Chain A
């Protein structure tokens, strides 16, 4: 079946450094969603990307959807300790359908 992969699995950064996580699929992605899960918490929806080549920004977070809709990325500028958590991409096969999660990238920020 379709698998969503993410790299890296773990990332440790110094506070103030940038961070990027990549989401890849061997098949065309439909709608990409990004979630953040704090340690001990539950996934929190961040954003949805629908169009090929789409770029969206939320303050220090920049989300991109690849031109071929087979990859996506999340970039955080100047990380803060509040950014700590696991970031998941998820593929929504059709609108309002189930979403299939990737394995996530765990971000640690060293103050």
Chain B
């Protein structure tokens, strides 16, 4: 499969623990996006990268969230000191620098108990 890959697909964690999600974009896609989606809502923008550079981070995102794309290929999204309100699906997406189509991964479901 050459689509956007996310891992893990499901994560249950206790409040206060740290979690990390990984995203492998489609090969040669230099733009990578992270979104968060809760039930019944549209995807909410978190941050995006062009190659290894983080171009924008949502102002709604607390300092507990950090994302990296160290070599311009895969990306990680870390949430520190998780809270119950962090429970959501975390979606990664990618596209080329010249393409309109954004390809989403299947998402990583986070449940904070």
CB of A101 within 8 A of CB of B43, answer: yes
What 0/1 pattern do residues 99 to 110 of B give for CB contact below 8 A with A?
Answer: 011111111000
A31 to B102, CA, bound (A): 13
When A33-B102, A96-B31, A98-B56 are in contact, do A42 and B97 touch as well, CB less than 8 Å?
A: no
CB of A42 within 8 A of CB of B56, answer: no
Identify the stretch in A13-21, A43-51, A77-85 within 8 Å (CB) of chain B at 4 or more residues: A43-51
Count, A-B residue pairs, CB within 8 A: 47
A98 to B103, CA, bound (A): 13
A41 at the interface (CB under 8 A from B): yes
B28 at the interface (CB under 8 A from A): no
CB of B56 within 8 A of CB of A103, answer: no
- Among A42, A102, A104, the most chain B Cβ lie within 10 Å of the Cβ of A42
CB of A33 within 8 A of CB of B100, answer: yes
A65 at the interface (CB under 8 A from B): no
> How many residues does chain B have at the interface if contact means C-beta atoms less than 8 Å apart?
24
Report B's interface with A, CB cutoff 8 A: 31, 33, 35, 40-45, 48, 56, 91, 93, 95, 97-98, 100-107
CB neighbours of B106 from chain A (8 A): 41-42
> How many residues does chain A have at the interface if contact means C-beta atoms less than 8 Å apart?
19
CB of B104 within 8 A of CB of A98, answer: no
CB of B91 within 8 A of CB of A96, answer: no
A104 to B102, CA, bound (A): 17
A42 touches which of B31, B40, B107 (Cβ 8 Å): B107
CB neighbours of B100 from chain A (8 A): 31, 33, 45, 48
Name B33's closest neighbour in chain A (CB-CB). Answer: A98
A7 at the interface (CB under 8 A from B): no
CB neighbours of B31 from chain A (8 A): 96
A48 to B98, CA, bound (A): 13
CB neighbours of B105 from chain A (8 A): 42
CB of A43 within 8 A of CB of B48, answer: no
Name B107's closest neighbour in chain A (CB-CB). Answer: A42
CB of B104 within 8 A of CB of A44, answer: yes
A90 to B104, CA, bound (A): 14
A102 touches which of B35, B40, B42, B97 (Cβ 8 Å): B42
